[in-house]
Amino acid sequence: MWDFRFWIGIGPSTGALSAASGSCYDAARKRGESNIQNLKFKLSSRRPKLGQHFLHDQRYRSRILEALPLEACDVVFEIGPGRGAMTGLLAERARKVIAIEIDRALAQGLKEDFPYVEIILADVLRVDFAALCREQGIKQGFVFGNLPYYITSPILHHLFAQRDSIRSMGLLMQSEVAERVTAAPGTRDYGYLTVAAQLYSQPLTAFTVPPGAFSPAPKVLSALVTFQMKARFELWTRATGDKFLGFVKRCFAQKRKNLLNNLVGFYLRDRIVQALEEAHKSVNLRAEQLSLEELAGVFERLTRAAGGARKDN
Ligand code: SAM
């Protein structure tokens, strides 16, 4: 029995498809929705604009599977299953696989090759994972994806926003993004994406995957990153996480500027100086020199102080 669900074009109130994101990536994603051809995917042409680099190396497929913190009772949400390089392997290990693919020809091929997998024809950025979990009668699922690299960051933010519905994840991404996600303070890669990822999860790079493992080979090295979806400070993050990340975005707005100059348009200068001094930090520090905890400390001091905020914070 297979369940092949064409969700594109169905209104946001139906099922697990949320309202259109309207991002700058829409044009590329929409290409996946057009040219409806019921060709089996093996006959379909590849769409480089949709980030289609298929994992053909069997050894890396096995290594990836072994490295995933997957449990037999998990329901897996697979992002971009493509031609199913990992889909069957995941299905052997987990309770169920629900695969979300934007390319109609690929989705049709998957339906034929993996009749026991539920295929959702949709843009992952529009998928509501909480609704998927409700439909499956579960609280949380496991997310796997060999991500389409043209939207790695939007996908990560979409997943972090829905972290309550995700137990754990294993994502293959460009190693440059993996380095940003797992970066330590004081390094070149440390920035907004790092803080967001490390606030909401515990990311860990498992290993890198060379371009030759994919067909066609991408221009960059890839890396598998696993994420345990556990917030750094659970209660504080639940109450304050989104506001804090708005603050962090301002802190890193211009990487060459120090923290004080990035924040001065939003808070009174004296208050920022005071908050940094209270935290025993130099006023000349740049944001990347502060750990997540230190950034949270400065944020708390600024927002706690009556009259500290200059604008809506
Ligand atoms: N999982 C397959 C593999 O490992 O061989 C394919 C991975 S390929 C790097 C990325 C896949 O994501 C492609 O199948 C592509 O069509 C799909 N994709 C691209 N954009 C997408 C989107 N917005 N939503 C869902 N799938 C998307």
pLDDT digits (tens, 9 = 90+) for 279-288: 889 999 999 9
Taking the C-alpha atoms of residue 174 and residue 185, their distance in angstroms, rounded to an integer, is 21
The reported pLDDT for the residue numbered 303 is: 87
The reported pLDDT for the residue numbered 18 is: 60
Which of 299, 189, 276, 269 lies closest to 261, judged by CA? 269
Could you tell me the distance, in angstroms and rounded to a whole number, from the CA of residue 202 to the centre of ligand 1? Answer: 24
Among protein residues, the one whose CA lies closest to atom 22 of ligand 1: 123
Contact 127, 16 (CB under 8 A): yes
Among protein residues, the one whose CA lies closest to atom 17 of ligand 1: 80
Q: Which of 42, 50, 57, 117 to mutate to test the pocket of ligand 1 (most atoms within 8 A of CB)?
A: 50
Q: Is 312 exposed, middle or buried (0-12, 13-18, 19+ CB in 10 A)?
A: exposed
Task: Indicate whether residue 123 lines ligand 1 (CB < 6 A).
Answer: yes
User: DSSP readout, 76-110?
Assistant: EEEE--TTTTTHHHHHHHSSEEEEEES-HHHHHHH
Ligand 1 atom with least separation from CA of 82: 14
**What mean pLDDT value characterizes the chain?**
86
Q: Cα-atom radius of gyration of the chain, to the nearest Å?
A: 21
For the chain, what is the largest distance between any 2 Cα atoms, rounded to a whole number of angstroms? Answer: 66
The reported pLDDT for the residue numbered 232 is: 82
Which of 264, 297, 268 lies closest to 280, judged by CA? 297
Q: Domains in the chain, ordered, with CATH?
A: 6-229 (3.40.50.150), 253-304 (1.10.8.100)
Task: Indicate whether residue 81 lines ligand 1 (CB < 6 A).
Answer: yes
Could you tell me the distance, in angstroms and rounded to a whole number, from the CA of residue 155 to the centre of ligand 1? Answer: 12
Judge if pTM exceeds 0.85.
Answer: yes
Q: Assign residue 40 a region: left if phi > 0, alpha if psi is -120 to 50, beta otherwise?
A: beta
The reported pLDDT for the residue numbered 44 is: 53
Q: Assign residue 71 a region: left if phi > 0, alpha if psi is -120 to 50, beta otherwise?
A: beta
Residue range 186-226, pLDDT digits in tens: 999 999 999 999 999 999 999 999 999 999 999 999 999 99
Among protein residues, the one whose CA lies closest to atom 19 of ligand 1: 50
> DSSP state, 253?
S
Residue range 72-114, pLDDT digits in tens: 999 999 999 999 999 999 999 999 999 999 999 999 999 999 9
The reported pLDDT for the residue numbered 15 is: 65
Could you tell me the distance, in angstroms and rounded to a whole number, from the CA of residue 101 to the centre of ligand 1? Answer: 6
- Looking at residue 229, its amino acid is M
- Looking at residue 121, its amino acid is L
3-class DSSP state for residue 67? helix
Could you tell me the distance, in angstroms and rounded to a whole number, from the CA of residue 51 to the centre of ligand 1? Answer: 6
Lowest average pLDDT, out of 35-39, 121-125, 236-240, goes to 35-39
What is the percent of the chain where pLDDT is above 90?
74
Lookup: tokens for 279:
């935290």
Higher pLDDT, 230 or 203: 203
Q: Which residues pair with 142 in a beta bridge?
A: 76, 168
Which of 216, 91, 186 lies closest to 142, judged by CA? 91
3-class DSSP state for residue 162? coil
Contact 189, 183 (CB under 8 A): yes
pLDDT > 70? residue 28: no
What is the percent of the chain where pLDDT is above 70?
82
Q: Which of 21, 98, 102, 119 to mutate to test the pocket of ligand 1 (most atoms within 8 A of CB)?
A: 102
Q: Which of 60, 120, 146, 172 to mutate to test the pocket of ligand 1 (most atoms within 8 A of CB)?
A: 146
